[in-house]
Every structure is written in C-alpha cells, then in structure tokens.
Structure 1
Amino acid sequence: MIRHRGIGNTGDAMVRYVHFELRAAIGAAAALAVTAVVLCVVRGLPELSGTWLLPFAVVTVVVALWAGVRSSRLKVVGRTRTYEAAVPLADPPADGDTLRRRPFSPMAFVGFLTVALTLSLFWDPVVILVLWWMALDWLSDGLVAARWERRNGVLLWRNDSRDEPWRLAYSPVSPPPPTRTATGAPPA
C-alpha cells in the first residue's frame, strides 16, 4: 500500500480510485467466469436462446445508461460533484500500488465466488446476473472516474482508512518532459 501523510490520520494508505474500482470489477468478473464454468460442468450448458441472453443484454444497456447519469453533476447520483470535492494532496503519493502489481483483490474474489457459487448451485443460476451487473457497474464507475481525471489533468486517490474511506483526494499528473532538439539542447 502507498503510505501518505496528506489527508486524514498520519500514515493513511492512498489507493488510486480508478484502480480500486477496476480491482473490484476484475474480482467480480473472475468470480462470474469461475461460477459459469462450474455451473456448466454441474448443470450442463444452458440453451443459447434469447430468454437466457436477454437479461444480460438488458443489464448491460441499463448500466451503460446509468454510467451517463453517473458522470453528470446531478446531486444524488452524479459522481462529478464528489470528484470536484476532492482535496488536493500536499505531495503526490509514489506510484507503488498499481494494477500491474495487484490486478484484483483475492479476498473480494473469494467472497464473490463463495456467495455466487453457493446461491447458483443450490438456488438458481440467475444469481450470476448479479455478478454481471456488479462487474459492469464497477467498470463503468472506473471509466467515469478515468474520464474525469483525464479532463481535469489530475489523479484521484481514495483514502483507505477506517475513519474516512469515502474521502477522495487528487494530485496533478506530472507534466511531460521538455522537448529537446536533435543536439539535445532545450528549444529556444
């Protein structure tokens, strides 16, 4: 984890907000894939009719429309006001906790898998539709945040403390290196 002293208590861990959302989406998608494979082995392949694919298509369209609403400035559901309320960091955290090092949370994956597999095997396989919705929702939230970051030239950070886990902070994106001429001298 990245340790930072900028906001909250001393030593609070800071995690990139986009990475936090994408880790959750990857964990839910991985649990969905494992659950689907186990269901195919135990119950056999489902019919590939419109009745099976239609709910997945409807959830996908609803989440896509909801992402547009979420990227707005609407008071309760829009995320833009939350991002704009982020506090500036005194010194940007080092780039240590990336998706390359930790692409998903193992604990979230195990939790999703346990619940989805148990409910799907003993109750109804439609439960995997909830995992589909959760994975798409976290993915869309990560995309909305990434779009906001790109438009504003900052990186959003999530305060990973028990006191204020919802509190966001931002740091500027480092400027590109200065251009050089063919001789290596800076341009005049």
Structure 2
Amino acid sequence: MPNRMQNKFEQRGFSVPEREERELRELYAQMIQVAYKRVNNKSDVHDAVQDAWVNILSKWGTLRERGKLAAWAKAITANVACNINRRSRRGVIATEQCAEAEASRHSDVKAQLMLEISELLGALDPTSRTLLLYKFYYGFKDQEIADAMNVPIGTIKARIHRTREKLKGRMVSSEADWPM
C-alpha cells in the first residue's frame, strides 16, 4: 500500500523507481548514523540530517559523479553536525556569561540590601531587634518567642507589629533621601 507522500509525488508528476527509493532510504539511515556519532546533543540528530538534505538539494548541481553521492552526503552531514555543536557551545557560553553577570549583579544588590537591613536593625532598641531576629531570621513562632521571653503571646504580637511599622516608616523616609 503506497504511503501518502508517495501519492503526493505521483500526483505532481514525480515518480521514484523502487530501487532508487531504497537507495535513498539507505543513504538516509547512513546519514542518521553519521549525525548520531557527531552530534553532542542526540536530540539534534534529525535536525542535522534535515539541514544536510537541504544543503545537498541546494548544491545538487555541484556533484560531479553520482557514484560519490553517499560519501558526499555523509561529509555534508558530518559538517552540519559539527556546526550544530559549535552553535550549541556558543549558546552555552553566552548563557553561562549571562548567568554569571546576573549572579554578580544579584550579589551586589543582596550585599547592599543586607547593609541597609543591618543599619535599620542597628537603629532599633535591643528588645525589638531580638524579637525581629527570632521571628524572621530564626523562624521562631510567636508562642516560642513568648515562652522564651516569659511574656504573653499577645504582647509579643503587638511588639512585633509596632516594630515592623517603625521599620517601614524608617525605610520610607530613607528612600526619600535616595537620589534618583
């Protein structure tokens, strides 16, 4: 039973003899093997073979001896596979450079933020600073802080709330001093 592609070719007046079709399929399988051996990322194998076929068909007029088609096709496939490897390496290098730059920028921002937080915490009284550190840095629950300080939980919640509001006010006023 003929396949769809064969029907489309026959409708357009193309006809490929069975022997030549078999040879092309064998050539295709050989090109897949060459690409599989050459390409680093195995998901690029079919892309390499497809690009090789495009090159073969666009340069068909430069083939001098038809008997050397298989060798020529394999050479083109190998070159295309190498080009794909080169392109993917460039992409990896560019991605790594972007990631390094982003990490550097992130660490600079993080360091500046940590400095500002330290200054804000340093301006607080020791009890308020301790409450915030227990709650947000060490991750203690309000009840654990209340038990450790021998104070009712409602007092701890109120102190944490007032201290946060105080910090927000200082942050807003310090942002107004920043040059734009």
TM-score (norm 1): 0.29
From the two aligned structures, give the one with the greater strand fraction. 1
Is the radius of gyration larger for structure 1 or structure 2? 2
Question: Which structure has greater helix proportion?
Answer: 2
